[in-house]
Amino acid sequence: MNYYSLNKQAPYTTFKDAVIRGLAPDKGLYFPETITPLPASFFEDIGQLSYETIAFEAIKQFVVPDIPASILKTIIADTLSFDFPVIPITDNIATLELFHGPTMAFKDVGARFMARCLGYFNENNTNDVTVLVATSGDTGGAVAHGFLNVKGINVVILYPSGKVSHIQEMQLTTLGHNITALEVDGTFDDCQAMVKTAFLDAELCNHMQLTSANSINVARWLPQLFYFMFAYKQLHKTHKELVFSVPSGNFGNVCAGMMAQQLGLPVKHFIAANNANNVVTRYLKDAIYQPHPSVQTISNAMDVGDPSNFVRIQEIYKNSFTTIQEHLSSYSFTDTQTQDALLELYSQYNYVADPHGAVGYLGCKAYLKENPRAYTVFLETAHPTKFLNIVEEVINQKQPLPPQIQAVMGKEKVAIHISTYGDLKTFLMR
């Protein structure tokens, strides 16, 4: 499989090179040259297939031969070491829980898959690779855990000071070893801009091998299509029109779902559920795509004012605004609405959600007002105890800490404060 840059000014390249580079030389995101749908029989028989078989069949065309099929199967088995249950909420709303991994966030799948791919590519390399990643919350912890002690890989995580939850911060600042956290005086967009600038800095790139573990990297982004198929495996016998509501920040997750649809997954529609950072919600109303500075909300992992992956969505649908509208709806919700949804889910349905899942739930309700026959599934992207103060205050109920969270509580935070790209470059060039 070859990959091309969405800016169309860089040579085609392999999966291996796309993973190692992260971003193309012309600043574009990489995209697979072809997408070959899976046979209809795959989806007809999906109820009898294991998660590992589903994942292998779904992603092998994008990875083999850069990674041999036998190695890819091992990588997938290591990645999918936890469950992905669909939990009914109402007659036409369910949630897909993606928080049963080691850092209790959906990004565990992409981070673990990418770490193992990069570890394979780097096993005979005498030079270290530096993984440079910006996080608005959950990416940092998932990447830190996924790459912890991987030979030849150093990880540098940029996160916005005061704009991630305490537990999220502990998950990315307490591991040590090959993981370094940089606390940035600014927003997630500032962190993301620094990372992109670093990849385009010739002096820095000549000094060290850089790659990204944000969802701009194909090895972080593509495996997220797995769990959309896992949800269908659990729901296909309902014979209902399946719609996914995805809490959306950088739009890698909903875009991965669309890739699953391109492979033939029978999905009717997608909902991009936004908080106050609603670039795409506004775009789908007036066809004007206008990024804006991010604002802080209680669903902080979605506090993104310039979503990187939306260009991939445009590529999937051939840059047709009409076609995008046919496949994607988007709604924006306030913090107050999010809090009300958290309370509603708990008081009416005895379900404890996190703020991001609550936004996804609101997306389902908004869509069902005009499409009452649909069966909607919102993605519960992080465990509610990662946002303990918010959740406990809203539902007025103490929550027990799962083992994954208890493991980081009380540890010493170690982070380096930076303010500018110059600070980042100085640190990396040391």
Overall domain count for the chain = 1
Residue 57 falls within a domain, yes or no? no
pLDDT in tens, 371-381: 999 999 999 99
Q: Is 129 helix (H, G, I), strand (E, B) or coil?
A: strand
Distance CA 262, CA 242 (A): 15
pLDDT tier at 76, thresholds 50, 70, 90: very high
Name the percent of the chain lying above pLDDT 90: 80
pLDDT tier at 239, thresholds 50, 70, 90: confident
Q: Which residue has the tokens 């046979």?
A: 39
pLDDT in tens, 194-211: 998 998 898 999 999 898
Q: Which residue, among 159, 138, 95, 222, has the nearest Cα to 404 in the 3D structure?
A: 138
Distance CA 205, CA 211 (A): 10
Task: Report in angstroms the alpha-carbon separations of 67 from 33, 215, 225, 285.
Answer: 17, 20, 19, 42
Tokens of 379: 């993605």
Say if residues 155 and 134 touch (Cβ distance below 8 Å).
no
Name the percent of the chain lying above pLDDT 70: 100
pLDDT in tens, 280-314: 999 999 999 999 998 999 998 899 999 989 999 99
pLDDT in tens, 247-277: 998 899 999 999 999 999 999 999 999 999 9
- Which of the pair, 137 or 147, is modelled with greater confidence? 147
Written in H, E and C, the secondary structure of 303-330 is CCCCCCCHHHHHHHCCCCHHHHHHHEEE
In the predicted model, is pLDDT for residue 343 greater than 90? Answer: yes
Say if residues 299 and 338 touch (Cβ distance below 8 Å).
yes
Distance CA 99, CA 105 (A): 4
Residue 5 falls within a domain, yes or no? no
The b-or-e profile of 391-419 (16+ CB within 10 A means b, else e) is: beebbeeeeeeeebbeebeeeeeebeebe
pLDDT at 11: 96
pLDDT at 391: 96
In the predicted model, is pLDDT for residue 140 greater than 90? Answer: no
Distance CA 369, CA 375 (A): 12
Range of the domain at 87: 82-106+221-399
Q: Is the pTM higher than 0.95?
A: no
In the predicted model, is pLDDT for residue 422 greater than 80? Answer: yes
Q: Residue 160's beta-bridge partner residues?
A: 184
Distance CA 67, CA 73 (A): 10
Distance CA 335, CA 45 (A): 42
pLDDT at 211: 87
Residue 214 falls within a domain, yes or no? no
Residue 204 falls within a domain, yes or no? no
State phi, psi for 265 to the nearest 5 degrees. Answer: -60, 125
pLDDT in tens, 393-418: 999 999 999 998 888 888 899 999 99
Amino acid identity of residue 264, one-letter, is G
Q: Which residue, among 175, 181, 164, 188, has the nearest Cα to 387 in the 3D structure?
A: 164
Residue 136 falls within a domain, yes or no? no
User: 75-82: long-range contacts (C-beta < 8 A, 24 or more apart)?
Assistant: 75/113, 75/116, 75/117, 75/120, 76/52, 76/113, 77/52, 78/112, 78/116, 79/55, 79/109, 79/112, 79/113, 79/116, 79/223, 80/51, 80/52, 80/55, 80/109, 80/226, 82/108
In the predicted model, is pLDDT for residue 137 greater than 80? Answer: no
pLDDT tier at 363, thresholds 50, 70, 90: very high
Say if residues 209 and 128 touch (Cβ distance below 8 Å).
yes
Q: Is 130 helix (H, G, I), strand (E, B) or coil?
A: strand
In the predicted model, is pLDDT for residue 125 greater than 80? Answer: no
Distance CA 17, CA 2 (A): 10
CATH number at residue 361: 3.40.50.1100
Residue 54 falls within a domain, yes or no? no
Say if residues 15 and 1 touch (Cβ distance below 8 Å).
yes
Q: Residue 4's beta-bridge partner residues?
A: 31
pLDDT at 48: 96
pLDDT tier at 123, thresholds 50, 70, 90: confident
Residue 130 falls within a domain, yes or no? no
Q: Which residue, among 39, 37, 28, 35, has the nearest Cα to 4 in the 3D structure?
A: 28
pLDDT at 15: 98
- CA dihedral (215, 338, 162, 410) positive or negative: negative
Say if residues 3 and 31 touch (Cβ distance below 8 Å).
yes
pLDDT in tens, 94-121: 999 999 999 999 999 999 999 999 999 9
pLDDT tier at 350, thresholds 50, 70, 90: very high
Distance CA 386, CA 404 (A): 10
In the predicted model, is pLDDT for residue 126 greater than 80? Answer: no
Q: Residue 269's beta-bridge partner residues?
A: 243
pLDDT at 329: 97
* Parallel, antiparallel or unpaired: strands 86-88 and 93-97: antiparallel
Average pLDDT, the chain: 94
Residue 11 falls within a domain, yes or no? no
